[in-house]
Amino acid sequence: MFELAAVFLLCAVALSYLIVTETDLLKAVAYSGVFGGLILLTLYVLMAPDVILAYVAISVGLSTGLMVFVVSKTTRHEVV
């Protein structure tokens, strides 16, 4: 079971690099949502249901929705 959690966390680390280097802000928000899903799966494998319930409400739902709203009010691409 811990091997599966390690694979999810390794994918999350690789995805965090994509989030930081992406210049399209909407794609970065989508990657952030997938990152939250990977952390959620890791917590599920580690059998932490109480933490999962709080994490779904805050990270995956509220945070991603708020970031999409903020990106819609600004320009979509980051100027470097």
pTM attached to this predicted model: 0.85
In contact, 64 and 36? CB cutoff 8 Å: yes
By the 8 A CB rule, do 68 and 27 touch? no
Domain boundaries, the chain: 1-73
pLDDT score at 13: 96
Is it the case that residue 16 has pLDDT exceeding 90? yes
pLDDT given at position 31: 93
Measured CA to CA, the distance from residue 14 to residue 73 in angstroms comes to 28
14 to 56, 71, 80: CA distances (angstroms): 21, 23, 22
